[in-house]
Amino acid sequence: MSREGNALEYLGEERWRLPPRGAMRVPVELFASRELVEALDAKVLEQACNVATLPGIVKASHIMPDAHWGYGFPIGGVAAFDPEEGGVVSAGGVGFDISCGVRTLLTGLRRDQVEAQRERLADSLAANIPAGLGSTGLIRLDDRQMRAMLAGGARWAVKQGYGREEDLSRVEEEGCMAGADPDEVSERALDRQRREMGTLGSGNHYLEVQEVAELFDAETAHHWGLRQEEVVVSIHCGSRGLGHQIGTEFLRRMVVEAPRHGIQLPDRELACAPIESSLGKAYLGAMRAGINCALANRQILTQLTREVFHRLFPDLELPLLYDVSHNTCKEEWHRVGGERKRLFVHRKGATRAFGPGHPELPEALRATGQPVLIGGSMGTASYILCGTSASEKLAFSSACHGAGRAMSRRAASRRWRGGEVVAELGARGILVRSPSLRGVAEEAPGAYKDVSAVVESAHRAGLAKRVAKLVPLICIKG
């Protein structure tokens, strides 16, 4: 098959390969159905080929089924770098919303129990969960508290009374990313975040009350406490202004320093620094602090959500199923060519997907593999998948993270009106609460790819296996 002049080889099982050419050090490997490949923006392949030219890249430049054009790296891009081979870290390969991610809470409620309180629940969640561009909450952090939060992540939040100790075993890195260095976070970044803890933000961020509509793997679902026709809550947000500021500042520094390290950039947006350089280490310290900010933010939002539910359903516990990040660079050990190597895995708009038996999973999840939380687009389904052992070999234990945009926000706002989207979803039984009708228009369901097709490709390729399908009942939109 040729895609905009690029000869993609079909390898079978939803896998495609573009052999190295020019300055590419490794091939591009794409996971997608033929239909998704045909609809793929040619810019995605161009960006993935550019990533394949970076120093120290290992095995391949990977593209997930939900991939679309991004800044430098495609969103839905995965690439691993070997520090012993001059490997680099790229702020564009992590993204601006560092550690944007999803966490899902179990309620144990049946849909009919929620239906009786749905309007009150939607209004109360909207009133108590700050959302929207520039949204701020009631929490104010001074310098000492900010630095403690950046060092401690969700563990810090729990110590402040936001949530429970048992939550931490269901969060990546047990709630705290090691190696965070708050001293590498600028004053400007700190200032942007002081009033934004416990807020959803804008864009594609949301809090959804969802029904488990279908089970694909009843045994795994039972192990995780997922039951058909019961209700869960999913929270999608990240590191807010702090993460964006970190990304912006380090990209500027990396552009300037790249030539000093002999790095020829095919695109300025791919600005990077050697992992072992002082700039590379500084970025990793700041980026890890950004991860902790996002983990703390979702932990606070969890507590705010529980408080709302407790007022209407006093006996609920709302245990945490899992919290998984995308937009990260993680230091991990992977087997390459039969040799175990220490690698720095960039996942931009991609989710970690450790399979059964992985030592970094908590004991309660080690037998099944890691929950992989795939957010849908407002008004469409979301999915819960499970990491596989095959994913390690395929793409460094990675999977897709959502539906993936099919058109820009500007194009979506020209095509839809927010009020019409809210009314149409309301007629389908989905209550939407948002401070911005323009934001609703930008995030209209039609602006995204078919999430079911994306998930099916990930499942067929072996990146992760389907466990449950969720449908929205209430959406609090940024």
Give domain status of residue 76, yes or no: no
Check which CATH number belongs to the domain holding 266 and give it: 3.90.1860.10
Give domain status of residue 87, yes or no: no
Give domain status of residue 304, yes or no: yes
pLDDT at residue 210, as a whole number: 98
CA distance 180 to 451: 34
Residues that are catalytic: 401
Give domain status of residue 12, yes or no: no
Tens-digit pLDDT profile for residues 189-240: 999 999 999 999 888 899 999 999 999 999 999 999 999 999 999 999 999 9
Residue 327 gets the label, from left (phi > 0), alpha (psi -120 to 50) or beta, of: left
Neighbouring C-alpha atoms within 13 Å toward the C-beta of 282:
16
Q: How far from 471 is each of 125, 301, 399, CA to CA, in Å?
A: 18, 21, 21
Give domain status of residue 422, yes or no: no
Give domain status of residue 57, yes or no: no
Strands (E) located in 82-168? 88-90, 101-110
Are 326 and 351 in contact by the 8 Å Cβ rule? The answer is: yes
Give domain status of residue 205, yes or no: yes
Give domain status of residue 289, yes or no: yes
Residue numbers of the domain that contains 171? 101-406+448-477
Tell me the pLDDT of the chain (478 aa) as tens digits. 444 445 899 999 999 999 999 999 999 999 999 999 999 999 999 999 999 999 999 999 999 999 999 999 999 999 999 999 999 999 999 999 999 999 999 999 999 999 999 999 999 999 999 887 777 778 899 999 999 999 999 999 999 999 999 999 999 999 999 999 999 999 999 999 999 999 998 888 999 999 999 999 999 999 999 999 999 999 999 999 999 999 999 999 999 999 999 999 999 999 999 999 999 999 999 999 999 999 999 999 999 999 999 999 999 999 999 999 999 999 999 999 889 999 999 999 999 999 999 999 999 999 999 999 999 888 899 999 999 999 999 999 999 999 998 888 999 999 999 999 999 999 999 999 999 899 899 989 898 989 999 999 999 999 999 999 999 999 999 7
Q: How many domains does the chain have?
A: 1
